């Protein structure tokens, strides 16, 4: 079966061609894929990975150095330096269990130039490498060219891979640096607010019982090779590629959170991505502000009313009667996406309540959740300072009150994320 799935997947990848890769001597278990564009400190990232303790399997670090066709001579020169840094890492840090390999994507067309395409090229190579060798359980790990990690990073990934054979994909705990002297103080304050927004968003969804509320950060996610091809591989998006990729996998189970180690993403400004961390930092920098406004907690709560009615939607024939229980903003949004017909179709294809609930959330998925929140804040709700809303949510969840200082509130959310995941639990 898997031969057919893999053959079908790779036959559709017009840009794919097998590359001979440098391999560690030990049996390969993990391929770390790193998209790299005009990176000034790549060696620090490679050193961080090389400092990891032996995970008990072979690890290949695959760095995809990419640049668009209209790149300046300075960018081309930097990318050439990045490739040289990878070669140097192989010479200086390579071992029986660890190898480094660079892939150059030169003169990429503008429609594809970006992190999604670079990730895809690297992840396709990793998947092919594993599946060609019959290693369906091989781990494709995503990292960034300006990120760091704890010493047990690779070891924890290997442990989870062995301990949980049903694992299809996972998020890895992350913490941006929020103090130090590497960056300007305003940058640390800004990234603290943005990271707080990311954590608040996930916990607000958990509060309203949304079943698939997980972190989807590109520098801290992984999947098995079999899951990669089964769910259609990575997309070519220039931002949000991580979110769109994982949302294809999460609802189908076997999704874990690895919290016994840590990824340390960079808080740097980025002009290359249209949204996400780098763009958020750029906007704050341009506005000369460290404040970040997020979705109102009230907007999540009205969505929670809908989720509380899902079982009734299975039983209630007159959906319009239940619609009256919803906030006008949600009513208007649901009508705009034809929810009555959609729910009736889901119900018609569900033989029992359990099936209906699963199908309902496959329809009202994470994309629709996000679209509703954006819709609701166009005329019904106002975005609020993140520290205030996140502190309010902590109170509603029965957590200690720490005021609305962003750093203190963020520390509480980090504690929640560290301890929220019992190592024996995954989505069913």
231/307 same-domain check: no
State both tokens at 401: 């009150």
The 10s digit of each residue's pLDDT in 256-304 is: 999 999 999 988 655 554 444 544 544 554 554 557 899 999 999 999 9
Share of the chain above pLDDT 90, in %: 77
Are residue 330 and residue 266 in the same domain, yes or no?
no
**pLDDT per residue as tens digits for the range 96-135:** 999 999 999 999 998 888 999 999 999 999 999 999 999 9
pLDDT confidence of residue 332: 97
pTM: 0.92
Predicted local confidence at residue 269, as pLDDT: 54
Work out how many domains the chain is built from and give that number.
2
Q: At 182, is the pLDDT very low, low, confident or very high (cuts 50, 70, 90)?
A: confident
Residues 262 and 335 both lie in one domain: no
Q: Looking at the structure, do residues 252 and 372 belong to the same domain, yes or no? A: no
Whether 280 and 333 map to the same domain: the answer is no
- The answer to whether the beta carbons of residues 265 and 147 sit under 8 Å apart is yes
User: Is the distance from CB of 127 to CB of 228 less than 8 angstroms?
Assistant: yes
Q: Are 109 and 170 contained in the same domain?
A: yes
What is the rounded CA–CA span in Å between residue 163 and residue 82?
A: 36
**Residue 401: inside a domain, yes or no?**
no
Quickly state the pLDDT bin for 328 (edges 50, 70, 90): very high
Q: Is 178 in the same domain as 85?
A: yes
Q: How far is CA 32 from CA 17, 51, 127, 220, 222, in A?
A: 19, 14, 11, 11, 9
Question: Which of 257, 292, 327 is the last residue in one of the domains?
Answer: 292
The answer, yes or no, to whether residue 313 has pLDDT greater than 90, is yes
3-state DSSP assignment of residue 138: coil
389 part of a folded domain: no
What is the pLDDT, as a whole number, of residue 428? 36
Contact 343, 326 (CB under 8 A): no
- Residue 171, classed as helix, strand or coil, is strand
Structural contact between residues 190 and 379, judged by C-beta atoms closer than 8 angstroms: no
Residue 313 sits in the same domain as residue 277: no
CA end-to-end distance (rounded Å), the chain: 23
User: In the prediction, which pLDDT does 411 show?
Assistant: 96
Same domain, 40 and 181: yes
Same domain, residue pair 134 and 21: yes
Coil, strand or helix at 62: strand
The structure tokens listed for 213 are: 């509320």
Average pLDDT of the chain, as a whole number: 91
Domain membership flag for residue 306: yes
Residue 359 domain flag: yes
Q: Do 248 and 145 belong together in one domain? A: yes
Q: How are beta strands 169-174 and 139-142 bridged, if at all?
A: unpaired
Q: What is the pLDDT of residue 403?
A: 85
According to the model, what pLDDT value does residue 1 have?
66
Question: Radius of gyration over alpha carbons of the chain, in Å?
Answer: 22
User: Could you tell me which of 48, 97, 89 has the C-alpha nearest to residue 219?
Assistant: 48
302 falls within a domain: yes
Is the Cβ–Cβ distance between 138 and 28 less than 8 Å?
yes
Does some domain include residue 198?
yes
The lowest-confidence range among 14-18, 182-186, 273-277 is: 273-277
Residue 423: inside a domain, yes or no? no
In a domain, 91, yes or no: yes
- Kindly report the number of other CB atoms within 10 A of residue 162's CB atom: 12
Of 246, 266, 292, the domain-final residue = 292
Helix (H) or strand (E) holding 406: helix 406-419
Q: What CATH number is given to the structural domain containing 39?
A: 3.90.550.10
Please state the length of the chain.
Answer: 428
Q: pLDDT tens, 369-401?
A: 999 999 999 989 999 999 999 999 999 999 988
- Say if residue 286 is in the same domain as residue 301: no
The range of the structural domain enclosing residue 84 comes to 2-292
Domain boundary residue, one of 244, 270, 292: 292
Alpha-carbon distance 238 to 218, whole Å? 12
**pLDDT at residue number 19:** 92
């Amino acid at each position: 079966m898997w031969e057919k799935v893999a053959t079908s997947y790779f036959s559709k990848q017009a840009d794919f061609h097998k590359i001979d890769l440098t391999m560690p001597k030990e049996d390969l278990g993990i391929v770390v894929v790193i998209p790299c564009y005009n990176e000034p400190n790549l060696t620090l990232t490679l050193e961080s990975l090389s400092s990891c303790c032996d995970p008990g399997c072979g690890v290949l670090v695959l760095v995809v150095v990419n640049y668009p066709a209209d790149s300046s001579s300075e960018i081309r020169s930097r990318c050439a330096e990045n490739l040289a840094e990878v070669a140097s890492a192989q010479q200086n840090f390579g071992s029986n269990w660890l190898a480094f390999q660079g892939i150059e994507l030169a003169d990429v067309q503008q429609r594809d130039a970006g992190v999604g395409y670079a990730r895809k090229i690297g992840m396709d190579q990793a998947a092919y490498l594993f599946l060609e060798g019959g290693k369906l359980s091989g781990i494709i790990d995503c990292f960034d060219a300006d990120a760091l990690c704890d010493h047990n990073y690779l070891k924890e990934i290997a442990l989870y891979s062995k301990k949980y054979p049903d694992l299809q994909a996972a998020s890895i705990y992350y913490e941006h640096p929020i103090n130090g002297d590497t960056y300007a103080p305003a940058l640390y304050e800004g990234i603290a607010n943005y990271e707080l927004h990311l954590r608040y968003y996930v916990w607000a969804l958990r509060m309203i019982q949304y079943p698939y509320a997980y972190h989807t950060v590109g520098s801290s996610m992984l999947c098995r090779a079999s899951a990669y091809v089964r769910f259609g591989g990575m997309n070519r998006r220039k931002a949000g590629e991580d979110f769109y990729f994982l949302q294809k996998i999460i609802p189908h189970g076997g999704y874990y959170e690895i919290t016994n180690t840590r990824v340390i993403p960079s808080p740097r400004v980025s002009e290359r991505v249209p949204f996400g961390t780098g763009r958020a930092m750029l906007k704050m920098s341009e506005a000369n502000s460290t404040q970040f406004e997020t979705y109102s907690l009230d907007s999540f709560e009205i969505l929670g009313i809908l989720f509380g009615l899902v079982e009734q939607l299975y039983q209630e024939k007159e959906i319009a009667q239940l619609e009256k229980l919803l906030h006008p903003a949600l009513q208007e949004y649901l009508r705009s996406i034809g929810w009555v017909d959609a729910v009736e179709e889901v119900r018609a294809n569900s033989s029992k309540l359990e099936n209906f609930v699963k199908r309902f959330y496959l329809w009202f998925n994470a994309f629709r959740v996000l679209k509703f929140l954006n819709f609701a804040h166009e005329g019904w709700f106002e975005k609020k300072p993140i520290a205030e809303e996140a502190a309010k949510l902590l109170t509603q969840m029965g957590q200690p009150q720490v005021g609305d200082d962003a750093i203190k509130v963020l520390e509480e959310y980090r504690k929640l994320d560290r301890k929220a995941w019992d190592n024996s639990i995954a989505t069913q």
